[in-house]
Chain A
């Protein structure tokens, strides 16, 4: 029972913005959208999370649609080191299990 849908892969040019979509049409009112990434052979790394407002930190921006059925992670200036698998995860504030799906494999090309 996948809660999110992401494209399996995408390419991005170095220095350009990378826009990673995620569909979560069955999201509940108390569920947050989290993004993690996993660079090859490393542990997952937290990126950002949000409930309904757009969020920005030093790594990325998260844009959540008004109906909350989808969101977009934006890496403003992709570098080669951003090549990784990116996971969009929906989780309530009462939960603690991160459910990692297949994610989107992002390849940043020079």
Chain B
């Protein structure tokens, strides 16, 4: 199964620590998207990346959050100085193209559940 792989599946951090969430897209996919699902809420778009480029980060909180998708290796969503409000499920998706025309769809990973204590 060469689907989107996210790790860790569960992550516990104390307030003030850093959280690093990793996402390996489907093989051959060069477009990665991160979504966040707060408890009892819907999924919200955070950021869209291509290899070595951030295309759209309009959904990212302005502070403490950053994302990258290096030439080699997985995409990383980094949250610095975590607070309790960052507790959520973070999902990564990948696609072949930067949009979803007729023949493509986004493949999602199983998510990373971040708990800030």
A contact set with B: CB distance below 8 Å: 32, 34, 38, 41-46, 49, 51, 91, 93-103
Contacts and interface: CB of A to CB of B under 8 A. Distances in A.
B45 A97 contact: yes
Interface string B37-49: 0000011110010
19 contacts: A32-B100, A38-B43, A43-B93, A44-B93, A44-B106, A46-B105, A46-B106, A49-B102, A93-B102, A96-B31, A96-B33, A96-B99, A97-B48, A97-B59, A98-B33, A98-B93, A98-B106, A99-B45, A100-B35
A91 B101 CA distance: 9
Interface in B91-117: 91, 93, 95, 98-102, 105-111
Contact of B43 (A46, A49, A51, A100): A100
Contact of B99 (A38, A51, A94): A94
A12 B101 CA distance: 32
A87 B78 CA distance: 28
Given A42-B110, A43-B110, A103 B98 contact: no
Contacts of A99: 45
Given A99-B45, A101-B42, A45 B100 contact: no
For the complex of A and B, the 5 pairs showing the least CB-CB separation, nearest first, are A43-B108, A46-B105, A100-B43, A93-B101, A100-B42
A98 to B, nearest CB: 6
A101 B95 CA distance: 21
Contacts of A45: 108
B100 A93 contact: yes
A42 B105 CA distance: 17
A19 B39 CA distance: 28
A96 B105 contact: no
Contacts of B95: 96
A103 B4 CA distance: 23
B42 A91 contact: no
B114 to A, nearest CB: 14
B40 to A, nearest CB: 10
